[in-house]
A and B are shown apart, each in its own frame.
Chain A
């Protein structure tokens, strides 16, 4: 068990490095820079900004495009780069390598670096402020999903092929079929603007968490309900359950005491991928409900070419996915004697 954990944890590092590198390369390849604006900044100022944020590396310029060092106007620099495309390309790659090393060094120290857009903020600040909220939202959603999903799934399994089963499964399909960006506004519309039960947005006390939590959790509730039902029906047919039933135990007890352990295995193994979905879904839900989490930074950061912030979101997301999968494997092992830690 310990060896298994250690091995898995060790394999996390290269995967994270892969994620880091991939997102860095994508961000660097993208056209447009973080400091391009409609009202142009004086060229010297822009150059200084780019130096501060490692978008320009004096050593690389001196090595590949020495003419740049003379404080050229932007037009002249463009002309020079057009004239010597290869040198320009090499200079860019060289600068990129420096930037990569710089960011990697930062990460090694647990520092996500400075934000490229929010001038005097570090990405760590955004993570510190946003991550707990995103986690809280995710947990609430997961709680909703498990409560509703397990209940509906068990209900459907116990009343297999009766109206409870059909109703629960139809509701589950509906949950799967309504995207959260539609569900959110509808819920706000009905429960906030119409009935005035919950506030329409923001993140203060529990009343603010109900609608976003439900919106985010509904899809997973639906999947969990289906998986629970399927798992339970599968287990119910197996021998040990038949034995229990033959002993004259009431059906309800058979289900709850004997079948549930095996029947929930698919649900547990689903929770890993579900975590991934929760993170992705929070991009939408945080925006609709004005929740100060991390998810909503992601798209904006990518659009604004805020390299560090966008990468931090991706990497943190990857960390959580990896941990969630690990956790799921451990729990599966505890629940299912057939699974061995390899």
Chain B
């Protein structure tokens, strides 16, 4: 991507909208031509609407139990059937989707914030700072991070905030490396020199000039991080460390469903399908974005 600085005019002023550059228009055009990615984006919008708006439409509450009416298959009153405690599975799936998407987004945001800041600083200052910071990343790569996260959640109880932070903390390392590489190759460009000459400080250069020019890879990697984080949340839910009942996440619903599969297949089927479809869509979209934003990969 070192060609970027020559193709694209540097994003030097805030008022200049990013979308206006030819690179972005180019990418947008390529993305639109990728049918799979477009369909995926549509699916994602639909799933998000389904989960966010759905609970207001369905006439059941996600924690409303009807113990005498446990684990029935789909019916007119309950389209997805009911779960083991007689709660409407449709609304629980929607609710679970909210939580799963929220965890995916929030944890990714955490990893994005840490990773971009860390990588950009490391790449920008270079030299000894860079060497030390990247050594730290190398070391962290070799830590059994997931184990520490599990330990943390087991020992100190489960809260959503802790979950976001823990999952975000696990996944920022790659982001840091990517951003560092980008910044390293961009910082010698003319537009950085120009900014420096006009008296912009280090922080300004890093966050106003360098980071916006790395957006392509950042977006791609972010899109691919979300499904990973959602799966990690599911894994923690299976271990009983995710969200706590009566709350639900797709991970929790799916792990409950997998256990009760023999008798009540619908408990696995519906949340499982939604989870799979969403993960598929995110991955396809991520791949599409990579193809669109990474000129090298053009065939």
Contacts and interface: CB of A to CB of B under 8 A. Distances in A.
A284 B139 contact: no
Interface in B126-158: 139, 141-148, 150-152, 154-156
Interface stretch (B192-200, B211-219, B273-281): B273-281
B161 to A, nearest CB: 18
Interface string B245-273: 00000010011011101100000100010
B254 A317 contact: no
B279 A177 contact: yes
Given A182-B268, A299-B154, A317-B147, A176 B283 contact: yes
Contacts of A27: 151, 155
A19 B279 contact: no
A314 interface: yes
A279 interface: yes
B255 A181 contact: yes
Contact of B151 (A185, A284, A310): A310
Contacts of B258: 181-182, 184-186
Interface of A: 15, 18-19, 22-23, 26-27, 29-31, 173-174, 176-179, 181-182, 184-186, 189, 193, 272-273, 276, 279-280, 283-284, 298-299, 302-303, 310, 313-314, 317-318, 321-322, 325
A302 B146 CA distance: 14
B49 interface: no
Nearest to A172: B283
Given A178-B276, A179-B235, 12 more contacts: A15-B139, A19-B143, A177-B231, A177-B280, A177-B283, A181-B235, A181-B255, A298-B150, A299-B154, A299-B239, A318-B143, A321-B142
Given A181-B255, A276-B144, A280-B146, A186 B261 contact: yes
B227 A177 contact: yes
A149 B257 CA distance: 28
Given A19-B144, A176-B283, A177-B283, A30 B238 contact: no
27 contacts: A15-B143, A19-B143, A19-B144, A23-B151, A27-B155, A29-B155, A30-B156, A173-B284, A176-B279, A177-B275, A177-B283, A179-B235, A179-B254, A182-B258, A185-B261, A186-B261, A189-B262, A193-B262, A272-B141, A276-B145, A279-B147, A280-B147, A302-B154, A314-B151, A317-B147, A318-B142, A321-B142
Contacts of A280: 144, 146-147, 235
A318 B145 CA distance: 9
B179 interface: no
A22 B148 contact: yes
Interface residues of B, number: 37
Q: B144, B262, B275: which has the most chain A beta carbons within 10 Å? A: B144
A173 B142 contact: no
Contacts of A181: 234-235, 238, 255, 258
Q: B139, B142, B254, B276: which has the most chain A beta carbons within 10 Å? A: B142
Nearest to B257: A182
A287 to B, nearest CB: 9
Contacts of A279: 144, 147
A201 to B, nearest CB: 14
Nearest first, the 6 A-B pairs at minimum CB distance are: A30-B155, A177-B279, A317-B144, A302-B154, A181-B238, A185-B258
Nearest to A161: B299
Contacts of B257: 182
